[in-house]
Structure 1
Amino acid sequence: MDRKIKSPSTPDMGDYLKVFACAAVMLQIILGQALQTHPTVNIQIGIGICYNFIKFTAPAFITGILYTTMRVTHDTNLSYRGYLQQMWHASFIPTIAWTLVYLLIMPNVQQVEHYHTIGDFAWQFINGNAAPHLWYNSMMLQFIILMPLFWWLANWCGHNQQRGRLVLLLTSVVQLVWLIFYDTQVFHGPHAKDWYLLDRLFVSFLLYAVVGTLAWQYRQVAHRWLQKHGLITVFALGSFVWINYELFAFKFPVQLTNAPYYKPSMTIYDLSIISLIAALGDSQLTRKLPVTHLIHRLANFAYPAFLSNVFWNQLLWRTFGQGLMSRQPVLGIFSVYIGTWLLSFASAITIHQSWSWLNRHFRRRLM
């Protein structure tokens, strides 16, 4: 019989990455909405800089998920089948439920095109176009399916740092080749429209999954790297200037699609921000601060909160957000963001507690 994944009751750096990523991804969507109100050039510049500042969400999510998964599954005899059974309840069922909500209740939030037939409906369901944020989900679920690859990688590396460096080097080369290919063929390239789904293929974020795996496997080495706050900050600031220069090299109005993940500059920035967030977590975990338990609890609800955030965002946008952003962009962005964050986490907690109560209630009835 398969053992369950170890109870992840102990906070870890993966929790910090997931919480920061979840909080930031909600703001990304709101910044895009703010641009729809045709703000002034100065406001557009501010939105573009802010968008770049938080453009670490998908890489941070992947790194955090892999780090925590490696931690809670090591030294267990959990089989792949047992792992998928547990992930089915934790990830796939919430994904199915919220995707249906968007397609059936809020079909207007679909991306690229809308469904008109059953076949279109099924395609929108699985390709991540059912809502602005679900492309993240299509990509992240691939890493759940591919988890045996990372278990094997961790076992092969063991405690041999030479193997770890080799894996990191080879993955970096693959990432660079992929970025060059994407830049020349997809991003403003000849296949920008017909190959756009490549942005959610797992290989686009493979480097971050490997980093998360190796960060756990060589946690002492990672701990020493995270002490180099000054060096990491230099990389973060330098790459931040770089990605903003690239964004504003395009003509106005600002188009957030001109700030993709798939650039060397953004990759360096994302790895730097991931390191800084992990350094914060490492420091607080080392000192055993009470806030680590709050971060851990929020991390447990980060994924369902992420799934629901566009639903709550749309309700706030339609009731007051659009009008307020048109008159007071900064106040509108802040108000919709805070409301979306609170409602997303509140709904995630409420649904979890309600489902747990129903399970306990029916089990007692059946006994």
Structure 2
Amino acid sequence: MRKERIAELELIRSFAFLAVVYQHVIGVYMRVPGIDPETAMVYGMWFHLLKFAVPAFVFITGLVLFYNYYEKITYLSFMRKRMTEILLPYLVWSIVYLLLSPDFLKGGDGGGVWNLSKTLLTGTASYHLWFVVMIFQFYLFYPLWQQVFRFMRRQAHTLLRFLVIAAGVSLVYGVMMWFSHRYIPAHGFSFHNVWLDTYFVKYRDRNAFYYFFYFLFGGMVAVLLPVFRAKIKQYWAWICISFVLLYGYVGYELIRDSGSGLINLNVATSLKPSMFLYTVAQLLLVYGLALWLLGRQRLAAMLTRIGQYSYGAYLIHALVLTYVMQGLRALQWFHEGILGSIVAFVLCSLLSFAISYGLSKLPLGWLLVGSAKKKRALPPAAKPSRKAAV
């Protein structure tokens, strides 16, 4: 029997897309000459509010995969679908960004082919494409994650054992975050093997293994969906309190670790222990917000539409942002300051969505934006029954 789509996920997906756009807008406006420390501080704190985006996408991926493919998977057809909907648009837009980069292919004879291969494998054709390389690894190795998750679930046959396993996974992931953020930089750690060093050290920011907790967290929600929704509502006040406290702490870290100069956004990396705890609290908060918005039909419908076309919009938005900023600077309007960043964010988001939506209507639009066709969902305002998967 075909399962219903989980309606709140499109809302979370739209939140994550919009958060990514504003992160990149902030990155542009932080580099404006003469920015004052107070404005930089506001950008830094807003940046922390938006850092849930990548973990949210990983969480959604895990939830959807385990929800639909928990029992079995036909790997070839599974990968064919993902290559068509995810990899091909990524390759097309990577070429587009490379063609717009005048500094590419300067490696001499044979250098072009090597540079192109390396760029596509590492997602460096544009600053945002690393994410596609990272997320695609979860699809590529899903059968392995499936076996790991099913093994852990079989062991968690009592509440106590479930809590022990959850605590163990959290501890392992926390140690990984410490290793990534503290140990590697402090000790100049590297593997003797160049392939291991490249994958686990140099490009660890796009190594799916460094995001595995959010993927398995999505799987846990997939198999406990009605219970999870109920617990979000039951402990909503505690979730909000936890989020506020952790938000304050990571803000303190941002100020402390930025040094005596302006705010350093690189301090706000997701790959550190404090951001791990903060991100989990924020994901719970965002999920609760999505559940609440399901009852606001018009707003939920608008956000759902954004979520459905968010992959194409994500691929496009870096290019759109470039031209939006060129236009604002040429006009000398809203090209600096907090208000300007909000204007740039709105323009970039709307234009990226509109272009993604328009391209999806073309005969071969899926090559550019993937497939926006989704399974039937209950109306956003509907209250799901226990038997419905929503």
Taking the aligned partners of 2:312 and 2:3, their CA distance within structure 1 comes to 18
Taking the aligned partners of 1:274 and 1:27, their CA distance within structure 2 comes to 18
User: Using a 3 Å threshold, how does the CA distance of structure 1 residues 107 and 229 change in structure 2: closer, same or farther?
Assistant: farther
Q: Say whether the 8 Å CA contact 1:239–1:268 is kept in structure 2.
A: yes
- Bigger CA drift: 241-250 or 191-200? 191-200
Extract unaligned runs of 5+ from structure 2: 191-196, 368-390
Q: Say whether the 8 Å CA contact 1:17–1:277 is kept in structure 2.
A: yes
Counterpart for residue 374 of structure 2: none
Taking the aligned partners of 2:290 and 2:215, their CA distance within structure 1 comes to 18
- Bigger CA drift: 188-197 or 199-208? 188-197
Taking the aligned partners of 1:329 and 1:288, their CA distance within structure 2 comes to 33
TM-score normalised according to structure 1 size? 0.85
Shift of 1:357: 8.0
Q: Which residue among 240, 253, 258 is the counterpart of 1:233? A: 240
Counterpart for residue 142 of structure 2: 147
Q: Which residue among 206, 210, 213 is the counterpart of 1:204? A: 210
User: Using a 3 Å threshold, how does the CA distance of structure 1 residues 96 and 258 change in structure 2: closer, same or farther?
Assistant: same
Q: Which residue among 268, 272, 280 is the counterpart of 1:259? A: 268
Taking the aligned partners of 1:190 and 1:91, their CA distance within structure 2 comes to 35
Counterpart for residue 363 of structure 1: none
Q: Say whether the 8 Å CA contact 1:179–1:262 is kept in structure 2.
A: yes
SS in 2 for 1:22: helix
Number of residue equivalences: 348
Q: Say whether the 8 Å CA contact 1:150–1:213 is kept in structure 2.
A: no
Q: 2:263 aligned with 1:269, yes or no?
A: no
What whole-Å deviation, never above 9, does each CA across 1:94-137 have from its counterpart, x for those lacking one? 111111111112357x9xxx863221222122112221111222
Counterpart for residue 229 of structure 2: 223
Superposed, which structure 2 residues align to 1:149-188 within 5 Å? 149-156=144-151, 157=153, 160=157, 162=159, 164-187=162-185
Superposed, which structure 2 residues align to 1:36-75 within 5 Å? 36-38=31-33, 39-74=35-70
What whole-Å deviation, never above 9, does each CA across 1:62-117 have from its counterpart, x for those lacking one? 11122123333456x64111111111111111111111111112357x9xxx8632
Taking the aligned partners of 1:206 and 1:147, their CA distance within structure 2 comes to 11
SS in 2 for 1:354: coil
Amino acid at match of 1:340: C
Taking the aligned partners of 1:327 and 1:25, their CA distance within structure 2 comes to 19
State the superposition RMSD in angstroms.
2.9
Taking the aligned partners of 2:173 and 2:330, their CA distance within structure 1 comes to 39
Q: Say whether the 8 Å CA contact 2:14–2:307 is kept in structure 1.
A: yes
Q: Say whether the 8 Å CA contact 1:186–1:196 is kept in structure 2.
A: no
Shift of 1:155: 4.0
Q: Which residue among 317, 321, 325 is the counterpart of 2:325? A: 317
Counterpart for residue 373 of structure 2: none
Aligned-residue identity in percent: 19
Taking the aligned partners of 1:351 and 1:209, their CA distance within structure 2 comes to 30
Shift of 1:57: 0.9
Q: Say whether the 8 Å CA contact 1:7–1:72 is kept in structure 2.
A: yes
Shift of 1:7: 7.4
What whole-Å deviation, never above 9, does each CA across 1:33-75 have from its counterpart, x for those lacking one? 1111131111111111111111111101111122123333456
Q: 2:349 aligned with 1:354, yes or no?
A: no
Extract unaligned runs of 5+ from structure 1: 360-367
Q: Say whether the 8 Å CA contact 1:305–1:344 is kept in structure 2.
A: yes
Amino acid at match of 1:335: V
TM-score normalised according to structure 2 size? 0.80
Q: 2:346 aligned with 1:338, yes or no?
A: yes
Superposed, which structure 2 residues align to 1:131-146 within 5 Å? 131-146=126-141
Bigger relative contact order (CA 8 A; separation at least 6): 2
Taking the aligned partners of 1:340 and 1:40, their CA distance within structure 2 comes to 24
Taking the aligned partners of 2:189 and 2:331, their CA distance within structure 1 comes to 37
Taking the aligned partners of 2:38 and 2:207, their CA distance within structure 1 comes to 35
Q: Say whether the 8 Å CA contact 2:329–2:335 is kept in structure 1.
A: no
What whole-Å deviation, never above 9, does each CA across 1:326-353 have from its counterpart, x for those lacking one? 8641232112111110111111111111
- Bigger CA drift: 158-167 or 214-223? 158-167
SS in 2 for 1:355: coil
Counterpart for residue 365 of structure 1: none
Structure (1/2) with the larger helix percentage: 1
- Bigger CA drift: 157-166 or 180-189? 157-166
Q: 2:123 aligned with 1:128, yes or no?
A: yes
